Amino acid sequence: MVLTDESIVARATELMEAELGDELVALDVEQGKCFGLNAPAASVWRLLQEPRSLLALRTSLQEEYAVSDQDLRADLQFLLEEMNDKGLVSIR
Amino acid sequence: MSDKPTADAGDSVSRVSLPDGSGGVLCTNCGLCCSGALHDRASLRPDEVEWAAAIGLEVTLEEGPSFRLPCPKLVDRKCSIFHQRPKVCPAYRCRLLDDVDRGTVKLSDAFELVATARHYLNEATDALTVPTLAQARFRARHLPMDKLAPDKGTPTSAELTERLLVTRLDVFLDRHFRGDGDMTMYKAAEADGSVEMNVQEAGRGEC
């Protein structure tokens, strides 16, 4: 999957959520599966309350996590592909 | 009441001893193992079965002799048969107890983990739509969503909330309390200098 800064990421499903510290345990009612989102993944999920561009996502995350732009790009791409594969987000 | 089996009377000292070190303080302020939060039942030795049934423990012989938890002898987080308790009770050590005794978790942090576990346990218990946590845990682990409410077609909001909160409880208990030998399907991401992000399916079966 090729992601650009202009790619729009949106939630593809609604989850029932329960906080686990700064992480989330979430139930996808449609799929009948529970997911565990670690703290950064939970941050991404919360940011996606409204669809955002990849650039906007990265900018917000950089304010929260002290990490290089290069690392963040790679980690975020990996996460979004995983979330997309699991039917949690859509990317266009 | 039947007499306690005497076959193990020779090790009565170890039977009444709490774990060495600060871990013993942790046990007397926790009791989650006895409460049924960690496990649904505890094993019995064959020569304890008759005695255990006679004193009111709910004995089952499925997959070997055991008694169902929560233990009815746990009163205000204290064992009311402490000097007579089954062999498994002083022998059992949860992961947190081992971590405290090894020094990898501070006692003060352990108390916080116990408090958090109790909070999650209370929320899960309040959300139960079936009589016991053990039943809810079985449903969360083994019953697919479409089998949750076969008569009604779709699960109710209460049933979904139960499933979510029981799963959260088990994720937390797997991480901090249950031993390495237990099946754990959720692991926290380890910090490695970058921001490792992950989303994993949580729980022990189809949620």
Mutation to test the A interface, candidates B146, B167, B195, B201, most A Cβ within 10 Å: B195
Residue in chain B closest to A85 (alpha carbons) equals B199
Q: Residues 133..172 of B with a Cβ closer than 8 Å to A: which?
A: 144-146, 155, 160-161, 163-165, 167-168, 171-172
The pTM assigned to this predicted structure is: 0.81
Q: Smallest Cβ distance to A16: which of B164, B186, B194?
A: B164
B30-52 burial, b at 16+ Cβ within 10 Å, e below that, comes to bbbbbbbbbbbbbbbbeebbebb
Q: Indicate the length of chain A as a whole number.
A: 92
Higher pLDDT: B185 or B96? It is: B96
Q: Sort strands B59-60 and B66-68 into parallel, antiparallel or unpaired.
A: antiparallel
Q: What are phi and psi of A18, to 5 degrees?
A: -135, 130
Mean pLDDT of B51-67: 92
Mean pLDDT of B51-61: 95
End-to-end C-alpha distance for chain B, whole angstroms: 43
Mind telling me how many Å the CA of A8 is from chain B's nearest CA? Answer: 19
End-to-end C-alpha distance for chain A, whole angstroms: 10
Show the DSSP H helices in chain A as ranges.
39-47, 54-64, 69-85
Mind telling me how many Å the CA of A67 is from chain B's nearest CA? Answer: 6
Give per-residue pLDDT as tens, A26-84: 999 888 888 999 999 999 999 999 999 999 999 999 998 888 888 999 999 999 999 99
Query: Where is A20: in which H helix or E strand?
Result: strand A15-20
For residue B167, list chain A residues with Cβ-Cβ distance below 8 A: 25, 27, 34
% chain B with pLDDT above 70:
72
Q: Does B122 touch chain A (CB under 8 A)?
A: no
Confidence check: pLDDT of B181 > 70: no
Give per-residue pLDDT as tens, B122-141: 999 999 999 999 899 988 88
